[in-house]
Amino acid sequence: MIMPDNKPMKPRKTLPKTALPRIYFIDQEIASGRYPNAPYLAKKYETSLSSINRDIAYMRDMMDAPIEYDFFKKGFYYTEKTYRLSAAYATEEDILALGMAKNLLDLYSGTPIHDAALNLLQSIAVPLQDAKDAEWYKNRIIIPKSITVHVDPEIWKVIVIGLQENRIISFTYQDASEKDTVKYETEQGSKLNARKVHPYQLLFDRSAWYLSAYDVDRKDRRIFSLSRISKVSLTDENFTLKSDFDYQSWEGQSYFGVFAGAKVYKFAIEIKGDARWITERKWAEDQSIQKTAKGIKLSFSSNQFDKVMDWLLSQGDNARPLAPKQLVERWIQVIEKMFSLSLDLSEDMLRKKQPNLKELSNFTSSL
């Protein structure tokens, strides 16, 4: 591709926000001296060839970037070897947004995409580091550390290829439920089972990655935790992606994580005391909140019964279920078990607090 020799125009100080990170990426690649061409840049940035061509033309014509095309090396280069785009083209908001994006990557720590995405963002940020107070936010806007779940990079790579090429993959899986387990054990005693699936989507939820897929043997959709997958491999078989493959089309209308069932329930939960934080959040599409004598009543529809139950229990004695009947009964069962455990614990604590009679006798006799 040969760029046209248009007459340079006076550069402006702002750019379309969607193009700015891509333009700084192109600047980084050209400045590296590797003579990248447009197809290479489009593939590496995962964008269209036309977008790259427009960006390069904009850099030459509007930003006075000394870009030329080498016919022999078949790539772009800077005629001024020390040239880099100025941070003046980025607004303070752009710089802050880029820095915050780097911070947000901490949420993906321990996953294969973390390092690749961080390297890309850092390469874009290089020209911005000379801007005044470019990194003022580092100690002022932070994202607290959260629990991370490690994902094997090789497992990730195979699954991504399966997604890209619509290829069936097979793996072994450590299932939490015994009923679905094909009986063979690892050296550690963990029961594993063989799976063969159509990979649909990768899902990120609460610091962990999951695979939404169609299980060939069970003839149903399932969700698999990537941390429990092992011995993954691509098969030579392809599958046709169904029109309703999207997880969001069957996850239901509530926001309690990735796991959902087939049945939709009408939930009603009473929250005691100061429940402003409940009203500040969106729990479901059809949620409604009513004031009660003790606090508020949160009502909504959901097919995520188990996750709603987990959330309810996490509220301790500040919440109690009102509906459906199944939730109330399950909650009572769990509370009774917890009460039984507390009695056992209390008895253990009382026994430990009782004085040792032999030691007490020896002490009194010495007086």
Per-residue pLDDT tens digits for 97-147: 666 676 777 767 767 777 777 776 666 555 555 555 556 666 776 777 777
Same domain assignment for residues 105 and 168: no
Ranges 88-92, 251-255, 259-263, most confident: 259-263
Q: Residue 34: which pLDDT band, with cuts at 50, 70 and 90?
A: very high
Mark 286-300 as b/e (b = at least 16 C-beta within 10 Å): ebeeeeeeebbbbbb
Verify that 275 and 351 share a domain, yes or no: yes
Q: For residues 3 and 143, state if they share a domain.
A: yes
Q: Are residues 10 and 129 in the same domain?
A: yes
Asked if residue 115 and residue 7 are part of one domain, the reply reads yes
Write the single-letter amino acid at 249: S
Based on the structure, what is the number of domains in the chain? 3
Residue 314 has pLDDT above 80, yes or no: yes
Q: What is the mean pLDDT of residues 151-155?
A: 90
Q: 200 near 241, Cβ under 8 Å?
A: yes
Q: Answer whether 196's CB lies under 8 Å from 168's CB.
A: yes
232 CB neighbour count, 10 Å cutoff: 21
Same domain (yes/no): 206, 314: no
Same domain, residue pair 328 and 202: no
**Whether residues 74 and 94 fall in one domain:** yes
- Which domain-ending residue is among 122, 147, 172? 147
Q: Is the dihedral of CA 6, 12, 17, 22 positive or negative?
A: positive
Nearest to 315 by CA among 346, 270, 280: 270
290: which strand partners?
A: 297
> Is 94 in the same domain as 183?
no
pTM of the predicted protein model: 0.62
For residues 159 and 231, state if they share a domain: yes
Tell me the C-alpha distance between 105 and 114, whole Å.
Answer: 6
Residue-range definition of the domain harbouring residue 139: 1-147
In this predicted model, what pLDDT tens digit does every residue of 168-227 receive, in sequence order? 999 999 876 544 444 444 444 445 689 999 999 999 888 789 999 999 999 999 999 999
